[in-house]
Chains A and B, each alone.
Chain A
Amino acid sequence: MPLKLLLQLSGRNILRHRRRNGMMLAALVVAVASVVLMNGLIRGMQRDMADMAVDNLVGHVKVLAPGYRDDPGVQRSFALAADWRSALAPGLLEGWAARLQVPAVVISERGTRGVRLVGVHPVREAVSFLGDVEMAGEFLQDAGDGRILVGRALAEQLETAVGRRLVIITEGVDGRSREAGFRIAGLYDADGTALERAFVFTGVEALQKMLGTEAVTELSMRLHEESQLPQVKAALAASFAGLDVLDWRELQPQAAAMFVYADAAIFIWFLVMMGALAFGLMNTLITSIMERVRELGMLRALGLRGRSVVAQVVLESSLLMLIGVAAGVVLGWLLAQALGEGIDLSLWAEGVESFGMRAVLRPILLVEDVVLIAALSLVLGVAASLYPAWRVVRIKPLEALGR
């Protein structure tokens, strides 16, 4: 049967039952749009989790002294050679930062808190969340700046403010306690209170001086392309023999696991929505086809082959799916655009942070995802039409004509 004729018949048969097919199409559009939107939101969440994991002083890849992750202290540090970057091909790194990070206790007149005291080179921190953080007061001037940056949430807990002094106690490289007073240069406002409570920053050289070392505890790097991670890791492992070279998925296993779960969530949502819809489509097709058994029997009596009947039923289903999927994708895209400013989840900020997400969730539509959703929907549509087609082809032309 010529394709043109098949298309003509299928198109007109769809228009034959406008209300029924219209309702089917509406369900299809809503389902596809919801899958597209949900996919966009989950992708946005994934991007948040990945970005936050990378921004959160981790970077794409980090070099650490062995055992540092289990017992993070100044004793587990390493000296950074001036020419360490020669091991890497040029152009791979977006930025890097060497830090000295130790556990410490910070004391104000009003309270005491355990924190991570991080010695940084302010210019290099463009690779972390410090690079675009909102700041009340001043940022650190240079690596030798002996003032500190405190998170807004921690400052509230300690009831302190910019310009005030805090006492910090930590352990020196010789294992003895070191205690010093630091003036607060600024209060940073990170995208999440957990970061603000956890980290206090000072100049790396100032901290090295306080602890009596010239070493660092970590070298964090951010890449232009995450896909280059294996290549960079391999080069670093060779260059920093004896040290741990770990990527963000290894350093933030919870975020990495959530990343995988999010992929599964997209797939499950698709299966639930489109699976339910496939049964609806199948039901609609069976009703539509069984109403036309006599007509299809007549066509076969005139010489239409069984496979052409199957092709007609499959094409009808495919046309319905094609229209529904196209409209659904457009609707999903429009909804995602309408949510372009993001969904404000700040009411549930703590819960959201525990999942490694930002307080504002923005949908992200990836072309490959939309193409995959559309293709899978069409495959599902074809699959859903095979049973009705099989049922009608099983009826012999003579039997069909007698109905």
Chain B
Amino acid sequence: MSGEEQSVVRCVGVSRIYEQAAAPVRALRNLDFEMARGDFVSLVGPSGSGKSTLLNLIGGLDQATEGEVFVDGVALTGLNQTRLADMRLHKIGFVFQSYNLIPVLSARENVEFILQLQGVRSAVRTQRTSEALAALAIEALAHRRPAELSGGQQQRVAIARAIVTNPVLLLADEPSANLDSAATGELLKLLRRLNDERGLSILTATHDPLVMRYAKRRMRLRDGAIVKDSALSPGTATDPMP
């Protein structure tokens, strides 16, 4: 297996420059970054440090101005919007800060929806949706619509939607931003369990110190550059599992 295949994410000399009227803004500066399969990486840093920009580039939602981004060995640079959409659909799971569930669909439908987009057969879809809901312990909420769920419950549905496709990578941008500390704790235990038990690669961007403690690797960004990259030993995390 080549080194490229060992890495779920690889960024080589990545820069992202936003053209502004006053002056160009360099959100990322010649950044090199590699993430192994099964890793749980937490991007930390102050606002404007480039965390979300990096997450967006890796998620194929934005294009690097310079450098190359590889996800699962595929170079995202140069892919057209349709190929990028397919890439996101089949290889990446997203968890957003504000859940972003479809309000007119129930929890189950929100999870199943992504499999419908993939064209998965009905019977398989039903089974995988049920498994994802069970993994997140939200089977009882399956028929509720987002407006009938708490923030924590909505975020669980969002995670179920993100993992139901068995993605190679889960991207979570400030997943705990709208949750109280109890819900955040539960969310992080879930993410860590998915990482430990399923080997799901997780990359999060966060301000939350609690989130940082549950990751296996912490990468600090400042002014668009990595200033510290620390692998955390299992003992470093503060009681990641119940």
Contacting residues, chain B, for A2 (C-beta < 8 A): 116, 119
Contacting residues, chain B, for A5 (C-beta < 8 A): 113, 116-117
> From A299, which residue of chain B is reached at the shortest CB distance?
B102
Contacting residues, chain A, for B142 (C-beta < 8 A): none
**B104 & A397 in contact (Cβ 8 Å cutoff):** no
**A294 & B85 in contact (Cβ 8 Å cutoff):** no
**B116 & A302 in contact (Cβ 8 Å cutoff):** no
Q: Is B86 an interface residue (CB 8 A)?
A: yes
Distance of A303 Cα from B119 Cα, bound (Å): 12
**Which of the residues A1, A295, A306, A397 comes within 8 Å of B102, measured between beta carbons?**
A295
* Contacts A302-B89, A398-B56; A16 near B103 (Cβ below 8 A): yes
Distance of A396 Cα from B118 Cα, bound (Å): 21
Q: Is B59 an interface residue (CB 8 A)?
A: yes
Contacting residues, chain B, for A306 (C-beta < 8 A): 81-82, 85
> From B104, which residue of chain A is reached at the shortest CB distance?
A12
**B88 & A301 in contact (Cβ 8 Å cutoff):** yes
> From A4, which residue of chain B is reached at the shortest CB distance?
B116
> From B145, which residue of chain A is reached at the shortest CB distance?
A12
**B61 & A301 in contact (Cβ 8 Å cutoff):** yes
* Contacts A5-B113, A9-B102, A295-B102; A398 near B62 (Cβ below 8 A): yes
Distance of A302 Cα from B59 Cα, bound (Å): 10
Interchain nearest-CB distance for B161 vs A (Å): 8
> From A6, which residue of chain B is reached at the shortest CB distance?
B116
**B96 & A304 in contact (Cβ 8 Å cutoff):** no
**B88 & A401 in contact (Cβ 8 Å cutoff):** no
Q: Is A300 an interface residue (CB 8 A)?
A: yes
**A398 & B61 in contact (Cβ 8 Å cutoff):** yes
Residues B45-69 near A (CB distance < 8 A): 56, 59, 61-62
Interface centre among A4, A12, A13 (most CB of B within 10 A): A12
> From B161, which residue of chain A is reached at the shortest CB distance?
A302
Distance of A396 Cα from B62 Cα, bound (Å): 9
**Which of the residues B62, B89, B109 comes within 8 Å of A303, measured between beta carbons?**
B89
Task: Sort chain B's interface into a size bin.
Answer: 20 to 34
* Contacts A2-B119, A5-B113, A397-B61; A303 near B88 (Cβ below 8 A): yes
Distance of A13 Cα from B76 Cα, bound (Å): 33
**A16 & B104 in contact (Cβ 8 Å cutoff):** yes
Contacting residues, chain A, for B29 (C-beta < 8 A): none
**Which of the residues A8, A15, A301, A304 comes within 8 Å of B117, measured between beta carbons?**
A304
Contacting residues, chain A, for B82 (C-beta < 8 A): 305-306
Interchain nearest-CB distance for A22 vs B (Å): 17
Residues A299-335 near B (CB distance < 8 A): 299-306
Q: Is B181 an interface residue (CB 8 A)?
A: no
Task: Report 13 cross-chain contacts, Cβ distance below 8 Å, ordered by A residue.
Answer: A1-B116, A8-B109, A9-B104, A301-B94, A301-B100, A302-B88, A303-B85, A303-B87, A303-B118, A304-B89, A306-B82, A397-B61, A398-B56
16 other A-B residue contacts (CB within 8 Å) besides A12-B105, A15-B104, A303-B86: A4-B116, A5-B116, A9-B102, A9-B104, A295-B100, A299-B102, A301-B59, A302-B89, A302-B94, A303-B88, A303-B118, A304-B85, A304-B89, A305-B81, A306-B81, A401-B96
Name B's A-contacting residues (CB within 8 A).
Answer: 56, 59, 61-62, 81-82, 85-90, 94, 96, 100, 102-105, 109, 113-114, 116-119, 161
Name A's B-contacting residues (CB within 8 A).
Answer: 1-2, 4-5, 8-9, 12-13, 15-16, 294-295, 298-306, 396-398, 401
